[in-house]
Amino acid sequence: MSRLPVVVFLSALLLLCEGNPCCSVPCQNRGVCTAFGPQNYECDCTRTGYHGHNCTTPEFLTWVKISLKPTPNTVHYLLTHFKGFWSIISSISFLRDAIMTYVLTSRSHLIDSPPTFNADYGYKSWEAYSNLSYYTRTLPPVPEDCPTPMGAVGHKELPDAKLLAQKLLLRREFIPDPQGSSLMFAFFAQHFTHQFFKSDMKRGPAFTLAQGHGVDLNHVYGDNLERQHKLRLRKDGKLKYQILDGEVYPPTVKEVGVDMHYPPHVPDAHRFAVGHEAFGLVPGLMMYATLWLREHNRVSGVLQDVHPDWDDERLFQTSRLILIGETIKIVIEDYVQHLSGYHFKLKFDPELLFNQRFQYQNRIASEFNTLYHWHPLMPDSFRIQRRDYGYKQFVFNTSIVAEHGIGRLVESFSNQIAGQVAGGRNVPRPIMHVAVKSIENSRRMRYQSLNAYRKRFSMKPYSSFQDLTGEKEMSAVLEEFYGHVDAVELYPGLLVEKPRPNAIFGETMVEMGAPYSLKGLMGNPICSPEYWRPSTFGGAAGFAIVNGASLQRLVCDNVRGPCPVASFSVPDEKDSGSVINSGASHSGDSDLNPTVVLKERAAEL
């Protein structure tokens, strides 16, 4: 589309926006709109690379850049094909480092730092910057005085949330993820993100209960000192635990006295107590909580072997830093690697950014929280050791964890496929109420449209409903509900968007989610030049644990007996049921004392 029709179109929209000319979003390319009365406005194009009344005319260098830059789908295609080529590239250190540096910087620089807006301040303010009880916002909320809920386009009223969810999101038949994601992946996504997605529903979805706005492992240690102290053994740097059938499990609520969300019918013996108060919800969350509990106590033992003179506090604090490092490495090299589908091997190496313009701070955006509602991942039932559990049998049933054991849960979840997230109509009926609530909360936040976020993250906006969905039936429903493709809401749009070929997500989910993820991970303090050194982690032994971390190692170091294959993708049939010789067990009572031999550990790494 040439610039003239764009200007004509924007001018027509402005005539509709009697109260606020910025409702039509006249400023393009990240220009900032300021209204001067009901008809006049000004676009601030500073440092956007564009100029003109609506920031639509590119500067010369910007024109060259956008002319040469491939589309996100082209880049995705290149990275998910030509496996042999990427294997060679990944084996050449300087090339891999150069590409990984570009991936990190190009993605992270899409996230504003310091933060700019929140749900109550659609303009720059000290409150939006300093008040950590808010989620930040990538785009300001739609002004309240606009002619339509989405600004200046679409119907005067949004469709009923329940009807919308029923027509477009409700599962008719389970659609498996063509990328082969496992339930091990699904539960990891849930357990990992709940440390920083903790909306304060008493105050509203704009507010968060999380203090750190990033990876601090409060789901392991608690989100305040009182909870942390109740969970700690206060000896040898370890966390409290109990022994069931010779293996370590979390202590009970009755023993430690922390608040956990359990319904009345759950007996005291099954009320496990962990850092996150809601992790008793499903066995998959408690499985990961148990693995990290065991890992913390194992790492504390390693540190005590190396530093017998250290007190409980230093052993605990250093173990926590090590586990944060392990988590970030697993997320980048296992989790993000899987969901990207890339043949290029991602690498966790904070030193790649030491010579770059990078800020070691992070604020969680509410849009990131919203897009991470991946409920289509969940199957119709959960199969563990040839037993099928429906939702009623699975939810708040922590007895499953101890009954089957962590190793068997890992094996079962690694072998059951998850659902496809994009493409619509794949949210299971038992958790449809969560999808409806997500739509309702998004409206309370007054998010801008799916297309507005596509433009913000350097994607071409969809030109029609069929362009969005890739088919005719759902696009017709969307047209009836919204009237204009620029009025499609963010959350429903993400779930009905056509998936990339043989992929779990559509383009928007990946191109929005990746910048938030990588900025949050690499913006962690442990990745800074001041922290990223062996002494931070107790010396060479602790640093080696961080640099050698993987999902498979986490499991093998913390289950008794043969180690099951732990995978974010369902293994081929020939590999299913395989075990890995993990050597000595790290979950029994004997390992609660510092018995790990440093030389053996170093040899493994």
Where in the sequence numbering do the catalytic residues fall?
A: 194, 372
Give the whole-angstrom CA distance, residue 528 versus residue 230.
31
Phi, psi of 548 (to 5 degrees): -100, 5
Q: Which two tokens stand for residue 420?
A: 């496809």
Q: Which two tokens stand for residue 272?
A: 């496990």
DSSP character for 335? I
Tell which residue, 382, 375, 373, has the closest CA to residue 416.
Answer: 382
As beta bridge partners, residue 564 has 579
Q: Please, is 383 exposed, middle or buried when counting C-beta atoms within 10 Å of its C-beta (0-12, 13-18, 19+)?
A: middle
Half-sphere exposure of 591 (CA within 13 A, CB side): 24
Give the whole-angstrom CA distance, residue 193 versus residue 365.
13
Q: Which helix (H) or strand (E) holds 136?
A: none
Check if the beta carbon of residue 565 is closer than 8 Å to that of residue 578: yes
CB pairs under 8 A, 24+ apart, for 322-325?
322/537, 322/538, 322/542, 322/545, 322/546, 323/217, 323/220, 323/292, 323/295, 323/296, 323/299, 324/215, 324/216, 324/217, 324/524, 324/526, 325/526, 325/537, 325/545, 325/546, 325/549
Segments in 457-497 forming alpha helices (H)? 465-469, 473-482, 490-496
Segments in 473-559 forming alpha helices (H)? 473-482, 490-496, 507-522, 540-547, 551-556
What single-letter amino acid sits at 291? L
Rounded to 10 degrees, what is the CA torsion of 473, 76, 552, 324? -100
Question: How far is residue 41 from each of residues 10, 25, 26, 31, 146, measured CA to CA in Å?
Answer: 12, 10, 9, 12, 15
Q: Is 28 helix (H, G, I), strand (E, B) or coil?
A: coil
